[in-house]
């Protein structure tokens, strides 16, 4: 038997429509006011999924700028070019190869073990993280994990619901006109809050364990499709375990332990098998990264 069970959001939409209609019919509201209430009612039910790729792009640019403000870039054209050759090739094998502004990768001049992905595809890897990679497949694993976060929009999911409510309500009630004055200020406040939600999650509290697991799973899939050995991820985690310092402010704080990630990986790809690297691939890894 077919049954209709509307989602909570749909019920709220209907209620706001009914309320607005009653207000209009009784003369308590003008038609314009009633329309604004209907739209605002719909707006507050929206989630991060209502953020358009273009808006995601602008959020990502600013998240990236905040990251760079804290971790200066490693200004090395050769190494960054190599990073982009691996990363942009890998992104083509993800389920979301096309984002508004595309995928771009940058090394950060920091010995902390860190990697960040801003919404939309701006990805940052620290030199400390690069030092955990002994070959190209291990580096590919780090990049594929970050692409996984972009694909699943984990950054956008960190934005508090109240922040999105404010933004979507402004947008819904002021649908047509160009923004200016107070509207722009209010929207910028919501934007600023969203950036803060994302960066504080990435840099301080870390994503939920389920998100990290999902990003590792996606990394394995991307690596397999591209032709890299997913055991590269296991090798990177084994190396990371040696470098992480207890109480550190980097991956030690924001990510599940390498051991638990390796345990989960074993369920996906079977027991660890040593990665054998073609001579040319290893030679270019050493010459391009200096590792």
Partner 1 sequence: MKIKKLFSGCLVTTCLIAAAAIAADNSKMMSVQVKTTSLRNSPSFISKACATLAYGDRVEVSSTKGPWSKVNTQKGATGWVHTSALSPKKIVLKSGQETAQTRASNDELALAGKGFNSDVEGEFKKQHKNINFIWINKMEKMRVTSAEMQRFLKEGSITPREGGAK
Instruction: Return the residues of window 250-289 that contact partner 1 according to CB under 8 A.
Output: 278, 280-281, 284
Instruction: Return the residues of window 140-169 that contact partner 1 according to CB under 8 A.
Output: 167
Sorted by sequence, the CB contacts under 8 Å of residue 81 that are 6+ apart come out as 288
Binding range to partner 1, per CB under 8 A, among 2-10, 20-28, 100-108, 264-272: 100-108
> Between 225 and 241, whose beta carbon lies closer to partner 1?
225
Structure tokens at 27: 């003369």
* 207 binds partner 1 per the rule CB under 8 A: no
Report how far residue 173's alpha carbon sits from residue 38's, in angstroms, rounded to the nearest whole number.
9
Q: Are 147 and 90 in contact (CB under 8 A)?
A: yes
Q: Which residue has the tokens 């922040």?
A: 163
* 51 binds partner 1 per the rule CB under 8 A: yes
User: Which of 101, 193, 248, 256 lies at the binding interface for partner 1 (CB under 8 A)?
Assistant: 101
Instruction: Return the residues of window 180-199 that contact partner 1 according to CB under 8 A.
Output: 184-185, 187-188, 191-192, 194-195
Gyration radius from the chain CA atoms: 23
> Between 94 and 157, whose beta carbon lies closer to partner 1?
94
Separation of CA 36 from chain center: 32
> Between 189 and 260, whose beta carbon lies closer to partner 1?
189
8-state DSSP, 44 = T
Report how far residue 276's alpha carbon sits from residue 266's, in angstroms, rounded to the nearest whole number.
18
Q: Read out DSSP for 119-137?
A: TTTEEEEEHHHHTT-SSHH
* 248 binds partner 1 per the rule CB under 8 A: no
Q: Which residue has the tokens 């200096």?
A: 290
Q: Are 230 and 275 in contact (CB under 8 A)?
A: no
User: Which of 20, 34, 40, 59 lies at the binding interface for partner 1 (CB under 8 A)?
Assistant: 59
* 232 binds partner 1 per the rule CB under 8 A: no
Residues making contact with partner 1 (CB under 8 A): 39, 42, 51-55, 57-59, 61-62, 64-66, 68-69, 73, 80-81, 84-86, 88-89, 92-102, 104-106, 122, 136, 167, 171-172, 175-179, 184-185, 187-188, 191-192, 194-195, 224-228, 278, 280-281, 284
């Amino acid at each position: 038997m077919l049954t209709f069970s509307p989602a909570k959001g749909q019920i709220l939409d209907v209620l706001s429509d009914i309320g607005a209609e009653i207000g209009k019919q009784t003369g308590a509201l003008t038609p314009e006011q009633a329309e604004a209430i209907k739209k605002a009612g719909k707006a507050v039910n929206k989630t991060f999924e209502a953020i358009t790729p273009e808006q995601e792009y602008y959020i990502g640019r600013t998240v990236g700028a905040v990251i760079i403000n804290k971790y200066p870039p490693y200004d090395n054209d050769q190494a960054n070019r190599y990073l982009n050759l691996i990363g942009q090739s890998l992104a083509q094998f993800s389920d979301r190869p096309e984002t508004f502004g595309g995928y771009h990768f940058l090394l950060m001049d920091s010995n902390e073990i860190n990697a960040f992905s801003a919404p939309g595809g701006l990805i940052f890897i620290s030199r400390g993280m690069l030092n955990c990679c002994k070959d190209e497949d291990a580096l590919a694993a780090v990049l594929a994990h970050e692409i996984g976060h972009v694909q699943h929009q984990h950054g956008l999911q960190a934005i508090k619901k109240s922040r999105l409510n404010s933004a979507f309500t402004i947008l819904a009630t002021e649908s047509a006109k160009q923004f200016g004055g107070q509207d722009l200020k209010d929207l910028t406040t919501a934007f600023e809050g969203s950036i803060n939600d994302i960066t504080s999650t990435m840099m301080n509290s870390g994503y939920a364990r389920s998100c990290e697991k999902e990003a590792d799973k996606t990394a394995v899939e991307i690596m397999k499709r591209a032709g890299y050995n997913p055991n590269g991820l296991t090798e990177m985690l084994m190396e990371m375990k040696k470098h992480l310092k207890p109480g550190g402010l980097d991956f030690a704080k924001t990510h599940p332990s390498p051991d638990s990630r390796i345990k989960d990986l074993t369920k996906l790809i079977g027991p660890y098998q040593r990665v054998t690297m073609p001579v040319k691939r290893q030679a270019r890894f050493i010459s391009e990264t200096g590792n």
